[in-house]
């Protein structure tokens, strides 16, 4: 039996497992840092001192749904999948923790201080994660929504999108983990790119 045939059989078994209701737990690993040379983010922030708080208390399994409008994917893949279970569960509390770690690392890289008991408290809460379907087919892609709230009362909702990184992605994690990592990375990029966010955390 050739290697290609073995691979095809393995893939077929995986697909059957998913169809039969096998649930995949997606856990982010190490979030890639932003590219300071190409992102064009402002800084340094050496006048900013903040405390980051994970405000997502729900650590139960969260069921991820598919997101597609039916026109962005081929009829043969995903046309009627919108709103249906994607066979993926995850912890929004853990995703929020990873978001806090990654956001804190980016602030520190730009000379901000992330400490306990700071005058500015940033509360983070990942509320929604969807698996998105696109014309390229069954690529692992996620869309995550996060609410950012300051102790001053200011609050804003952000959305990040990420995928597994294609064929040039680094090895070591499976495609779902890489998709999660890049989604959180994009959330950090969106937050850090918002002048309103930077203005609000600079007020104290």
pLDDT band at 43 (very low <50, low <70, confident <90, very high): confident
Confidence of residue 132 (pLDDT cuts 50, 70, 90): confident
User: Which of 150, 166, 157, 160 lies closest to 189, judged by CA?
Assistant: 160
Structural tokens at position 143:
């869309």
Rounded mean pLDDT, 67-87: 68
Angle between helix 92-109 and helix 175-192 axes, rounded to 10 deg: 50
Q: With 70 as the cut, is the pLDDT of residue 33 above it?
A: yes
* Percent share of the chain, pLDDT over 70: 76
Does pLDDT of 89 surpass 80? Answer: yes
How high is the pLDDT of residue 19?
Answer: 42
| Better-predicted residue by pLDDT, 187 or 3 | 187
Give the pTM. 0.82
Of 11-15, 39-43, 77-81, minimum mean pLDDT range? 11-15
Q: How far is CA 79 from the centre of its chain?
A: 24
Q: Residue 98: pLDDT band by 50, 70, 90 thresholds?
A: very high
């Amino acid at each position: 039996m050739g290697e290609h045939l073995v691979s095809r059989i393995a893939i077929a078994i995986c697909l059957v497992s998913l169809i039969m209701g096998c649930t995949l737990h997606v856990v982010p690993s190490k979030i890639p840092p932003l590219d300071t040379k190409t992102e064009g983010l402002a800084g340094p922030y050496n006048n900013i001192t903040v405390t980051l708080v994970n405000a997502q208390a729900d650590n139960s399994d969260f069921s991820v749904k598919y997101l597609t409008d039916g026109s962005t994917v081929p009829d043969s893949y995903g046309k009627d999948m919108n709103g249906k279970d994607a066979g993926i569960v995850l912890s929004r509390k853990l995703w929020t923790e990873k978001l806090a770690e990654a956001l804190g690392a980016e602030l520190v890289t730009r000379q901000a201080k992330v400490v306990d008991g700071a005058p500015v408290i940033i509360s983070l809460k990942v509320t929604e994660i969807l698996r998105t379907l696109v014309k390229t087919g069954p690529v692992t892609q996620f869309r995550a929504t996060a609410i950012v709230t300051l102790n001053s009362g200011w609050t804003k909702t952000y959305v990040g999108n990420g995928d597994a990184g294609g064929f040039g992605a680094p090895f070591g994690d499976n495609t779902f983990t890489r998709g999660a990592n890049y989604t959180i990375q994009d959330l950090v990029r969106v937050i850090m790119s918002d002048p309103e966010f930077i203005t609000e955390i600079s007020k104290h």
